[in-house]
Amino acid sequence: MESAIAEHLRCPRTRQRRVEDDYAPPYPAWAAHAPAAVTRVVIGLFGVQSRGAGRLGQACAALRGIAAGFAAPDGPLHHDLTHGVDADGFDNMVAIGYWTDAQAFARWRDAPAVRGWWQSEERLHEGIGYFREIATPHVARFETLFSTPDALEGAGVAMGRLSGEIQEHGYWGSMRDRLPLSQTDAMRPSGARAVAADVPEPGRRVRIAGHDHLALIRSGQDWSGTQGRERMLYLEQIEPVLRAGMDFLERQGLQVGCYSNRYMRHLDAAGQPQEKSFGLSFWRALADMERWSESHPTHVEIFGAFMRYVQALNLDLKLRLYHEVAVLGPDEQFYEYVNCHPRTGLMNGLGA
């Protein structure tokens, strides 16, 4: 058993973990670790927003164009193509790219083909919307968790290495304990989101400034390997509750500190949904995320169902769960919405 915090990121603590040194988790879990030379992870969400079946072909072509751009020099080490319908009935197709070199990312972003495409006035007049949500956390502000050791997802694929079984999981507060920065910092936000440019309205290009310690989570589920009883338990007992929790965060999340939530499915290369989903949300504070996961009936029920599931299946799970969490500094985030509806992403609650 090892600490979720990679050895080179450990430091003398001024803040204590929630558990004693001899704590033993009730089931195993793993974390992704990057080589010591990696100082930042880049998570880039590149979204296309459309409404109605008649626009889906155009939106899908735009998504494929963005993904084709990933093949340019300095493109992401890994990417996912994803889709979800939001509470306003818009389709959101998002290409999520991961880098472990912020300079390579900046070169890719600033290459004329990429920069020119995003900055072009044409993007405002195509009948669909676009957005970029980019997080560049220092590795001390980033943690991951995997329920099985056989497949990495998301940032883990780019980071490349899985830890041994980790100690800090299986109790409320373990997410915080896995974040290297929590050794010395309470990670409390002091500011608030602000509209940095233009008014959140369709037809506009809107930039939002994030604040210190704004938190991001991608929490994923892969049920493609499940069969028989396990599959039935997942689809009948866990997924409906997960959906209710995601729906709550999307529609009423602002009251619990969640600025934005999307419940998304992975798409394969032909644009077909895969048996893989995830929630992706932005929060005012890590503490708000902790409070929701620990106390909201939907996540408490998901957590309880998962515990029963693990026991019923004698720890032999084919369901794969993972998450990645970042607590961002003010300079580690960039949000731009081009012709999107005013409840999109970080604009939610700020617009007219």
Q: What are phi and psi of 246, to 5 degrees?
A: -65, -40
With CB atoms as reference, the residue minimizing the distance to ligand HEM is 279
Nearest partner of 348 among 293, 282, 296, 289, judged by Cα: 282
Q: Return the residue of 114, 238, 264, 340 that touches ligand HEM, per CB under 6 A.
A: 238
Assess 289 for contact with ligand HEM (CB under 6 A): yes
Residue 303 C-beta: closest distance to ligand HEM, Å: 5
Residue 165 C-beta: closest distance to ligand HEM, Å: 11
Task: Please give the size of the binding site for ligand HEM, defined by CB under 6 A.
Answer: 22
Assess 254 for contact with ligand HEM (CB under 6 A): no
- On whether the CB atoms of residues 322 and 211 are closer than 8 A, the answer is no
Cβ-based nearer residue to ligand HEM, 100 or 219: 219
Q: For residue 306, give the DSSP letter.
A: H
Residue 277 C-beta: closest distance to ligand HEM, Å: 8
Q: Return the residue of 3, 183, 281, 333 that touches ligand HEM, per CB under 6 A.
A: 281
Site residues for ligand HEM, 158-217, by CB under 6 A, read: 169-170, 172-175, 217
Burial of 280 (0-12, 13-18, 19+ CB in 10 A): buried
Piece in contact with ligand HEM (CB under 6 A), picked from 93-101, 119-127, 157-165, 296-304: 296-304
Q: Return the residue of 50, 92, 182, 219 that touches ligand HEM, per CB under 6 A.
A: 219
Partners of 214 in the β-ladder: 328
Residues near 174 by Cβ (< 8 Å), separated by ≥ 6? 18, 19, 168
Residue 41 C-beta: closest distance to ligand HEM, Å: 18
Nearest partner of 221 among 147, 327, 291, judged by Cα: 147
- On whether the CB atoms of residues 37 and 201 are closer than 8 A, the answer is no
Site residues for ligand HEM, 299-328, by CB under 6 A, read: 299, 302-303, 306, 321
Give dist(CA 262, CA 38) in Å, integer. Answer: 29
Cβ-based nearer residue to ligand HEM, 128 or 175: 175
Give dist(CA 206, CA 27) in Å, integer. Answer: 45
Looking at 169, 266, 323, 341, which residue is catalytic? 323
Q: Answer yes or no: 125 catalytic.
A: no
Residue 243 C-beta: closest distance to ligand HEM, Å: 10
Residues near 134 by Cβ (< 8 Å), separated by ≥ 6? 42, 43, 44, 45, 333, 334, 335
- On whether the CB atoms of residues 220 and 334 are closer than 8 A, the answer is no
Residue 110 C-beta: closest distance to ligand HEM, Å: 32
Q: What are phi and psi of 295, to 5 degrees?
A: -125, -15
User: Mask of contacts with ligand HEM, 61-100, x by CB under 6 A?
Assistant: ----------------------------------------
- On whether the CB atoms of residues 217 and 283 are closer than 8 A, the answer is yes
Give dist(CA 28, CA 164) in Å, integer. Answer: 10
Residues annotated as catalytic (active site), given as ranges: 323
**Can you give the binding site for ligand HEM, defined by CB under 6 A?**
29, 169-170, 172-175, 217, 219, 221, 238, 242, 279, 281, 289-290, 293, 299, 302-303, 306, 321
